[in-house]
């Protein structure tokens, strides 16, 4: 099993920044990709960024390129993945989830077997 805990969400004004964290523990050696998804009310879950824990390759959705930065910090038995969000816009509002899986299509939630509970991001104009 892999446990994922997100933190760092909050309410900010447009133009502000947030750094979300995803702490992964447990059998982290069994997953090779950790991704961030967001879901706004009434909308489908959207993959916004992902990182391959071995090698550090990254993926970004076109809608967030240039504003979102994903990174990781590996420690013994724990992997922490960060999502730096700059120039926040109201359309960035939603619940942000991190997910872990073996790889495949980083934007497809079906490739991920483990999910955190989410952290809320609210951006006001």
Q: Which residues sit opposite 38 in a β-bridge? A: 46, 96
Residue 124 has pLDDT above 90, yes or no: yes
Mean pLDDT (the chain) is 94
**What pLDDT is recorded for position 125?**
93
Name the maximum alpha-carbon separation found in the chain: 41
Measured CA to CA, the distance from residue 12 to residue 3 in angstroms comes to: 28
Residue 47 — pLDDT band, cuts 50, 70, 90? Answer: very high
**What pLDDT is recorded for position 59?**
96
Summarize pLDDT for 54-105 with one digit per residue, the tens: 888 999 999 999 999 999 998 777 899 999 999 999 999 999 999 999 878 9
**What pLDDT is recorded for position 71?**
96
């Amino acid at each position: 099993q892999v446990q994922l805990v997100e933190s760092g969400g909050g309410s900010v004004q447009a133009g502000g920044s947030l750094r979300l964290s995803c702490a992964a523990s447990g059998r982290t050696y069994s997953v090779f990709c950790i991704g961030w998804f967001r879901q706004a009310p009434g909308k489908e879950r959207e993959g916004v960024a992902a990182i391959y824990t071995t090698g550090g390759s990254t993926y970004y959705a076109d809608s967030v390129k240039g504003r979102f930065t994903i990174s990781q910090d590996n420690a013994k038995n724990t992997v922490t993945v960060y999502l730096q969000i700059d120039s926040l816009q109201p359309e960035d509002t939603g619940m942000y989830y991190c997910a872990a899986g073996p790889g495949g299509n980083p934007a497809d939630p079906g490739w991920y077997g483990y999910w955190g509970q989410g952290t809320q991001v609210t951006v006001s104009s």
